[in-house]
Amino acid sequence: MLINGIPIDDTFAEAFPMKATRLVVTAHNLTWARHAGVSLTGFATSVIACGCEAGIEHEIAAADSPDGRPGVAVLLFSMSGKELAKQVERRVGQCVLTCPTTAVYAGLSEGEAIALGKNLRFFGDGWQIAKMIDGVRYWRVPVMDGEFVCQETTAVTKAVGGGNLLLLARDTDSALAAAEAAVAAMRRLPNVIMPFPGGVVRSGSKVGARYAGMSASTNDAFCPGLANLVAGSRLGASARCVLEIVIDGLAEADVAAAMRAGIEALAERGSDSGLVGISAGNYGGKLGPYHFHLHRLAGHGEHA
């Protein structure tokens, strides 16, 4: 399939079930809310080694926030509710409680409850105060700039992780420009994050490795430097740089919508942009039950 001169592989991205929650972090102004959000979502690119995948979903205007102050919505994903609960408590305790003027609230109301401020309240050393509002418990913890307000629990929901697009380009400049455009389009949508730096990963992986103890290793089929060495290389002579965008979403439809928006943004750039192909990573359907077929998402185009 060709769209605006760009070939789209007849393949699919393979994604898997995850657990997720949304947190709302507010502060005296947006600058400090973003400081907390960036710190909270640090070292959270991949569950392979980070324990969770997380990112800032969007900014929240003061008029739309729980306490009338500006904030950010943050999504966190993990492979189990137990691991997610551990990550939430550690990250909020170290990155939000510590950040000047912040408060934190649940961004989801439906799902299994896990601790948010339930245990962090003990930092108040007996001076903490509980408050019930419309059946929801909040904690007020004294800190040096006043008080830290936190909702007692947040909700965990089923989610989808691992949607992806592979961008094949003539050179680094073309690949970076294409990736930035696609990520910008995806970030306009709700319920999704792209957890890697800038939303983009260069070290795309395959399942397994030659070395014991390695659960994943370099995706050699898409490494330009190995194109003449690997029997299963997926790259032609014109592809000299490949970047991947990984998408996590609260639902299968959210991941599909983000991938569709990314494909549309890439297609708008056309083949003159240096983009020579769009593909996706999968493991023959063995990794996860969610399959996002690129041709279906593209929905139109000229067949080469």
Query: Strands 146-151 and 103-106: what pairing?
Result: parallel
| Contact call for residues 274 and 194 (beta carbons, < 8 A) | no
Write out pLDDT tens, residues 90-140: 999 999 999 999 999 999 999 999 999 999 999 999 999 999 999 999 999
Q: Which pLDDT score, from 0 to 100, does residue 207 have?
A: 84
Please, what are the averages of pLDDT over each run of 10 residues along the chain (304 residues)?
A: 94 97 98 98 96 98 98 98 98 98 97 97 98 97 98 98 97 98 98 98 91 90 94 92 98 98 97 96 87 92 42
| Contact call for residues 143 and 210 (beta carbons, < 8 A) | no
Write out pLDDT tens, residues 230-247: 998 999 989 999 999 999
List of domains in the chain: 2-15+160-298 (3.30.70.520), 19-157 (3.30.70.520)
The CA distance from 99 to 148, in Å, is 10
The CA distance from 250 to 254, in Å, is 7
The CA distance from 73 to 64, in Å, is 11
The CA distance from 151 to 2, in Å, is 50
Q: Which pLDDT score, from 0 to 100, does residue 285 have?
A: 82
* Cα distances (Å, whole numbers) of residue 164 to 10, 56, 246, 257: 14, 18, 4, 12
Query: Strands 112-115 and 129-133: what pairing?
Result: unpaired
The CA distance from 284 to 139, in Å, is 48
Which three-class secondary structure state does DSSP give residue 176? Answer: helix
Residue with tokens 């294409």: 178
Q: Which pLDDT score, from 0 to 100, does residue 299 have?
A: 86
Write out pLDDT tens, residues 148-159: 999 999 999 999
Q: Which pLDDT score, from 0 to 100, does residue 284 have?
A: 81
Q: Which pLDDT score, from 0 to 100, does residue 287 have?
A: 81
* Cα distances (Å, whole numbers) of residue 12 to 15, 210, 230, 292: 10, 25, 21, 5
Q: How many CB atoms lie within 10 A of CB 17?
A: 14
The CA distance from 249 to 160, in Å, is 5
> For the chain, how many helices (H) and strands (E)?
5, 17
Sign of the CA dihedral with 236 first, then 222, 207, and 78 last: negative
Q: What is the helix (H) or strand (E) element at residue 258, kind and residue range? A: helix 252-269
The CA distance from 53 to 275, in Å, is 28
Residue with tokens 């593209």: 298
Q: Which pLDDT score, from 0 to 100, does residue 131 have?
A: 96
Helical pair 252-269 and 172-186, crossing angle rounded to 10 deg? 140
Q: Which pLDDT score, from 0 to 100, does residue 302 have?
A: 45
Residue 285 C-alpha from the chain's centroid? 22
